[in-house]
Amino acid sequence: MKPIKVGLLGLGTVGSGVVRIVENHQDDLQRRIGAPVVIEKVLVRDLNKARNIGVSPQKLTDDPWSIVNDESIDVIVEVMGGVGLAKECIMAALEQGKQVVTANKDLMALHGGEILHKAAENNCDVLYEASVAGGIPIIRALAEGLASDRITKMMGIVNGTTNYILTKMSKEGAEYSEVLKEAQALGYAEADPTSDVEGLDAARKMAILGTLGFRMQVDLDEVDVRGISKVTKEDILYGKRLGYEVKLLGIAECQDGGISISVQPTMVKQSHPLASVNGVFNAVYVYGEAVGETMFYGPGAGELPTATSIVADLVEVGKNLQFGVNGRYVFLPYKEKQLMSDERIISKYFLLLHVEDKAGVLAQITQTFAKHEVSLESVLQQPNPDNPSAEIIIITHDAVKSAMAEVMKDLSTMKDVVNEIKSVYRVEG
């Protein structure tokens, strides 16, 4: 029984998890694939570093090309991260007819289309389940489980760092800056947290999900991105009073062939399942024309959850190798892309305004909304002893995005009435 030989590019947290699962689940893997799986070579940065994972020193190398160009290796598993070298290695591997499994969201968001076309040209598999939401099988669900349906909307909590921060702010009434420092101390946030807290990490994942779910190529620069660094504990408190939780949501919608994709802090109704997704957990809520509403929930990162998705891809690649059908089912977007204009994007909005505390102010504000045909679902004015201005909270009915932009423009010019537009959030659920 000829073994399937794997070249592992990277032996960090996730790479170590892949080695552990392959070693500990070898019997199951052989039964599922019909052949043993052998990790033949492993790329590391430092050959002399002490490791608590049982990989023979003879299998370690600091030269990626000694793995990519090894004719005996069947599958390249890329978990080293980054874009430049990772792309070079993967493209070279595909040119040689090797199969590829990757967890690299940055690479797939930026160059996924190019990589998948190269795979199709060379009859190779490229699988990337672990690139989005760690151990949650959302990519396989979109590509296979929901392949017969037409996806109309996806909403996802796809970044554990920001979800941890917002959960702590909600439960403890803490400030953003305090919780960020705690997340960094615990290792949930990087020393430079920009990619997470400004929504860039989530945007890459939503570009991948949008491409799969809507069957059209979504480029990263087409994702409208806003992070959580401006979210205050007051925003969260006021949202809770009205029955909402603040979550950083990736939102992808498709209407009449047009799509819109965004990442933004969102007021989520507490009765919606996404509102109760806390800590570092991820979840993706999917709306299909036939299936209705489904939610995929689980750990979004970590050594073994992410490694589980990688090894699941490895099993699929291995089975395809046994049957000689690699590259037959490479997903290539086939629909013509049409981005929705702001005149077609509709949602509810939450606004917190600091206004002058005098008669007639509320009437002027409501007239501004009416002028642009934005109707109001609720208006709440309440005193704040820490704020000399009056505070008004408004939740709109469904409103056109372009109309809301005009409302915001007008409010910003009403200096004698509106002291500050403190917060604006989309409302879901």
Active-site residue numbers?
205
Are 89 and 20 within 8 A, CB to CB? no
Cβ count within 10 A of residue 249? 25
Query: Rounded CA gap, 158 and 202, in Å?
Result: 6
193: which DSSP letter? Answer: -
Query: Rounded CA gap, 351 and 363, in Å?
Result: 16
Per 3-state DSSP, what percentage of the chain is helix, strand, and coil (rounded to 5)?
Answer: 40, 25, 35
Q: What is the largest CA-CA distance in the chain?
A: 85
Are 278 and 111 within 8 A, CB to CB? no
Q: Which residue has the tokens 């994942």?
A: 205
| Burial degree of 356 (CB within 10 A; 0-12, 13-18, 19+) | middle
Q: Residue 212 to residues 116, 209, 268, 379: CA-CA distances in angstroms?
A: 12, 5, 25, 39
Query: Rounded CA gap, 142 and 214, in Å?
Result: 9
Query: Rounded CA gap, 205 and 211, in Å?
Result: 10
3-class DSSP state of 157: strand
3-class DSSP state of 52: coil
Ramachandran region of residue 133, left (φ > 0), alpha (ψ -120 to 50) or beta? left
| Burial degree of 77 (CB within 10 A; 0-12, 13-18, 19+) | buried
C-alpha of 128 from chain center: 13
Alpha helices in 226-302 (DSSP H): 233-241
